[in-house]
Amino acid sequence: MSQASLPPAQNDLKTERSRLRRAHERGLYDRATIDAVLAAMPLAQIAYVLDGAPSLLPTLQWREGDYVYWHGSAASRALRAMEGSQVCLSVSCLDGYVLARSAFHHSVNYRSVVLFGEAERVHGAHAEQSYERMFDAWFPGRWQTLRPMTAKEVKATAVMRMPITEGAAKVRTGGPKDDLEDYDLPIWAGVVPISMVLHPALDDEKAPKPLPQPEHLSRIELG
């Protein structure tokens, strides 16, 4: 058993957390990359602590200025547990498998953001405006075509956010980086690119009569 496998002492963990925070603060200088990753991938995972143990909520996020937003049922126990507490939000795009000449140097190309901060619930007019921003982020042009939200629907929905103040984006691109002496081995190496693809829209089978697919569908982007 190597020394690295021993459980770290509490002091190590505290030191480690400050180190991570500092590292993430350094990373934050590249705010443009963070914003680009958040815009590319709505799917997010939000970690929170419930009764001392970690829990995860998969959900969709959108950005408004210096905050990342998400929403859910106002009755959601996960959202209630997050409110006023530290959370960690992660967004990842898997962009390719990097196949090297040794097992050890296999890797993935990716774009990833990890943010730390306190979650807060957004209320009133601010929350109602956020629904439109959410649609503008995911389905631009669609909000204006929908029937307005009812008061009951607004009341049933909670909007949450966290500041983009602590965290980092990480990006890997390009081919494998093998040990110098391995390049002459007769082993194929390279990259298998991966992307998320939007397919042609399918009309709702329950529609009482066919309606033309709206132009705004072509404005949805992903990845």
Q: How far is the CB of 64 from its own copies (least distance, A)?
A: 16
Q: How far is the CB of 185 from its own copies (least distance, A)?
A: 6
Q: Residues 121, 136, 163, 165: which binds its own copies (CB under 8 A)?
A: 121
Rule CB under 8 A: say whether 28 interacts with its own copies.
Answer: no
Give the span between the Cα atoms of 92 and 113, in whole angstroms.
6
Rule CB under 8 A: say whether 104 interacts with its own copies.
Answer: yes
Give the span between the Cα atoms of 68 and 161, in whole angstroms.
5
Question: Which residue has 């934050």 as its token pair?
Answer: 28
Give the span between the Cα atoms of 116 and 59, in whole angstroms.
16
Rule CB under 8 A: say whether 165 interacts with its own copies.
Answer: no
Question: Which residue has 């909007």 as its token pair?
Answer: 159
Q: Residues 29, 172, 173, 203: which binds its own copies (CB under 8 A)?
A: 203
Confirm if 107 and 172 have CB atoms less than 8 A apart: yes
Q: Which is nearer to its own copies, 65 or 193 (CB)?
A: 193
Listed residue (169, 20, 152) closest to 90, CA to CA: 169
∠ at Cα 74 (70, 78), nearest 5°?
A: 65
Question: Which residue has 């795009």 as its token pair?
Answer: 93
Positions 168 through 187 that interact with its own copies (CB under 8 A): 175-176, 178, 182-187
Rule CB under 8 A: say whether 4 interacts with its own copies.
Answer: yes
- Say what the alpha-carbon torsion angle 168, 173, 178, 180 is, to the nearest 10 degrees: -100
Q: Residues 32, 54, 65, 151: which binds its own copies (CB under 8 A)?
A: 54
Q: How far is the CB of 31 from its own copies (least distance, A)?
A: 19
Rule CB under 8 A: say whether 196 interacts with its own copies.
Answer: yes
**DSSP run (H or E) holding 16:** helix 10-27
Positions 65 through 84 that interact with its own copies (CB under 8 A): 74-77, 80-81, 83-84
The pattern of x and - marking residues 122 through 161 that bind its own copies according to CB under 8 A reads -x-------x---x--xx--xx-xxx-xx--x-xxxx---
Confirm if 121 and 130 have CB atoms less than 8 A apart: no
Rule CB under 8 A: say whether 195 interacts with its own copies.
Answer: yes
Q: How far is the CB of 54 from its own copies (least distance, A)?
A: 4
